Amino acid sequence: MLITFVRAIFLYIIVLIVMRLMGKREIGQLQPFELAISIMIADLASIPMTESGVPISNGIIPILGLLVMHLLISLINLKSLKAREIICGKPRILIYRGKIDEKALKKERFTINELQERLRKSNVMYLGDVEYAILETSGDLSVIQKPGKRNTIPEDFNITPEYEGISYDLVIDGKIMSDNLRKIGKNYNWLKKQVEKFNIEPEEALVVTIDGKEQIFCQKKEYKK
């Protein structure tokens, strides 16, 4: 069992190193060590499930070993900035002050076409509109557009919008959300009066929501014959 435990840790380290060498663009949303442990856990769990002759402990023990490694690495990441940079890497600036950094692209194995694709996913259609583009450790691309190309916000016009708050679901598929009613200081009788304005009972509603301005949205369920 100890050998299986140690082998799992060793394989985890190997996979982690390989994923780091592959570059951030292959990682997606997960950090390298998170993706490595996800792949290995899925593989280890599948062996005892598909092979009846393999003891289940051969899958459980390595997975526990990976869990220990995951917790240990997470703790190291919290305690040491240097270790965090080694394990997770550092964000890399691909576009700096409107200029593409070719060296950074090569290090991350990014092509111009891939960069443009990522920009389009951020609703940026033209390279010339970008002031900074930063490849995060998770593989996401953070884009900061040039001041003249950014979307305007009320603050730009010295406008202070009214407080909107959050919306609450009061009825979902005919079920009364009693906890949400209590949060807004209302009860069933109040809900019934509001829903009756739509000529239905609360239990007949597909959905009833209320926003921060106490505007109510209500839709009746469709009953199949």
Domain with 106, as residue range(s), is: 92-149
- Burial letters 192-222, b for 16+ CB under 10 A, else e: eebbeeeebebeebeebbbeeeeeeebebee
CA dist 116 → 55, 111, 112, 128 (Å): 50, 9, 6, 11
Q: For 143-181, how does the pLDDT look when each residue is reduced to its tens digit (9 = 90+)?
A: 999 988 878 778 878 888 877 788 899 999 999 999 999
Give the per-residue pLDDT at 176.
94
Q: Are residues 60 and 130 in the same domain?
A: no
Give the per-residue pLDDT at 5.
72
What's the structural domain count of the chain?
Answer: 3
- Whether residue 225 is contained in a domain is answered as no
- Whether residue 124 is contained in a domain is answered as yes
Q: Are residues 7 and 77 in the same domain?
A: yes
- Whether residue 163 is contained in a domain is answered as no
- Whether residue 161 is contained in a domain is answered as no
Please name every residue paired with 135 in a beta bridge, in sequence order, or none if there are none. Answer: 92, 141
Query: Which segments of the chain have a pLDDT < 50?
Result: 22, 25-27, 225
Supply the Cα-derived Rg of the chain in whole angstroms. 26
Query: Of 144, 140, 60, whose CA–CA distance to 95 is shortest?
Result: 144
Whole-structure pTM value: 0.56
Give the per-residue pLDDT at 32.
67
Q: For 90-104, how does the pLDDT look when each residue is reduced to its tens digit (9 = 90+)?
A: 889 999 999 999 999
Q: Are residues 124 and 138 in the same domain?
A: yes
Q: Are residues 6 and 54 in the same domain?
A: yes
Q: Which of 55, 88, 121 is the last residue of a domain?
A: 88
Give the per-residue pLDDT at 222.
84
Q: Which of 36, 65, 88 is the last residue of a domain?
A: 88
Q: Are residues 83 and 96 in the same domain?
A: no
